[in-house]
Structure 1
């Protein structure tokens, strides 16, 4: 019963704090003004993701003191999440050069990996493989990519919030069914914190997440996936499957832009979800479609993998239709004038 009271408090705090941040943004004219590379058409307050950050980090400290989450699990999330949120907040309110942001991203990844012990053994076609130092390098790149791809994919109303709620709640369902209930608290707290923000961010959004929120979600979700892999190697595949929509769209788009020689650090509107939202004429159908894919396609496959189905094969089955969708919706292609 106590944990449900905590979840209720987190939901209420996130909901209220987002309202406060919206009022603050409106009073200070902290608005996201549409331009030629935007996916929205109406000036909208930004920075609401700070509500997720504050609610989650404060609650994580409290549940760690209560013994519901170990400090060895909480500290990677607290340190890396706080650093990325601060850098994102400063970038939202001014500008930080890309090289300094990237340095902070790798610093956050290093902090998390030092506490976790790097990359655990991973399960490949039924064999557990220890990649040694190469695995630790790959884990750092993975965390940096996760936080950046989450930023890239936070481009239409509600999509980043829906993805976080679906992935975290889906992982908790897999944990519950496979006897890993001890892993459930941290991701479920994140899902509930995001849910409070989603009330204000659901299409049509009344406030945007901002870099502080999107980068925070990316790095925290990445850390949660690696922590799960330490408990059970197959859980890394579970998380990668649950995050398939974001991983495939962002990676496919980046790959095409790199091959074309684009400046990949510049803003653009060439993700598949952005093309789909322009085709639909609004954001809601695309956001709801992402939720449907998560719940009706990716979650069942993740459940099978959690229950013993091969993770590599499960990932391939999950991703092939997503790649086809990315091609269908012109991910990474130049926008026609």
Structure 2
């Protein structure tokens, strides 16, 4: 497993460097504007390295671990999202086509997974746990598609400062690999592969970023992590809650910001820079914000997710505990409120 991780890491590092050279030579640059968090033109589309490194890892797993065709097809569904993101990075793809592609990929995944896993309805009464498992049946397909599309867009929304999306992917994938070690060996290898691919890119994307991820990577990561959470939940229903807790920073910031903009009658669908992390980055800088995210992830969200994994009856209480300070930070930094130059 260590050899597999190191190999994918090296492949990701090398591919990111090659893609950076390609982006510079083709002038595929992210130009600063009033909504940007950067001040100099920077190559974009580096997330393609994560995509290619992960696909390479799956080919290795087919050879070394006997990865089955169905599981491989589930994860390859994310290539639809990566493809539309690649074209968007090279030009502009209308939002409706991007959304339809995201929807199609999520629907394909849910068909292959045969809907949502059994849903755990947590209760502190241990003797009721066996009666708290609910089969959503056909409704599970709709719920699953919604969750996957939302996970996907979390990364599109939150990929706005140096290192934040790659760091979140590295953290969540590594944590899921730790859980999957006790649940499913194949799932563990897939999560380790994604963590290695993300770390390889992060070396180039760490503040100050030498290349940006772009839509080709952000949407791909969001969908893959969503798939990993759902597949882990098929092994242990509580993993759905553990995954949502691990995703806490992205879930709370993106959801709070979007709802605030919608309720305040702003053009919520337009680009903006009013997320909590963006406000914090402008005030304190990219690196301090990125390090703060790592502290929150490692010393707050990870321990709570572990407690929920050990004591599933308290899953909802754990989520409320995990999200509460994050909601306070969103309120403190006035997430979603229009800037003076956006009014």
CA distance in 2, matches of 1:68, 1:194: 24
Of 239, 243, 265, 1:239 maps to 243
Deviating more after overlay: 326-335 vs 151-160? 326-335
- Of the three residues 299, 304, 308, the one matched with 2:311 is 308
Give the corresponding residue for 1:57.
Answer: 55
In the TM superposition, residue 71 of structure 1 has moved relative to its aligned partner by 2.9
Partner of 1:43: 41
CA displacement 1:298-327 (0-9 Å, x = unmatched)? 000111111224221211111111111111
1:199 aligned partner? 203
- Structure 2: unaligned runs, 5 residues or longer: 123-128
> How far apart are the structure 2 equivalents of 1:53 and 1:181?
22
- Which of 71, 83, 88 is the matching residue for 1:86? 83
The more displaced of 27-36 and 67-76 is 67-76
Give the Cα separation in 2 of the matches to 1:266 and 1:54.
Answer: 30
Q: Is the counterpart of residue 150 in structure 1 residue 155 in structure 2?
A: yes
Select the residue among 31, 34, 40 that pairs with 1:33.
31
Q: Which segment is superposed worse, 68-77 or 190-199?
A: 68-77
Residue 167 in 1 paired to residue 168 in 2?
no
Question: How has the CA–CA distance of structure 1 residues 119 and 135 changed in structure 2, closer, same or farther, with 3 Å as cutoff?
Answer: same
Q: Which runs of 5+ in 1 are unaligned?
A: none
1:131 and 2:129 aligned: no
1:113 matched to 2:110? The reply is yes
| TM-score normalized with structure 1 length | 0.95
Cα pair 1:68 1:185 within 8 Å, conserved: no
Q: Deviation string for 1:93-122 (max 9, x for gaps)?
A: 111111111110110001111110111111
1:283 alignment partner in structure 2: 286
Residue 132 of structure 1 aligns to a residue in which SS?
A: coil
Matched residue pairs, number? Answer: 332
1:64-103 matches, cutoff 5 A: 64-79=62-77, 81-103=78-100
- Greater mean deviation of Cα atoms: 128-137 or 203-212: 128-137
Contact 1:123–1:311 under 8 Å retained in 2: no
Q: How big is the shift at 1:238?
A: 0.8
Report the TM-score, using the length of structure 2 for normalisation. Answer: 0.94
Please give the alpha-carbon distance, in whole angstroms, between the structure 1 residues aligned to 2:180 and 2:310. 10
**CA–CA separation in structure 2 for the residues paired with 1:219 and 1:179:** 21
Is the Cα–Cα contact under 8 Å of residues 34 and 42 in structure 1 kept in the other structure? Answer: yes
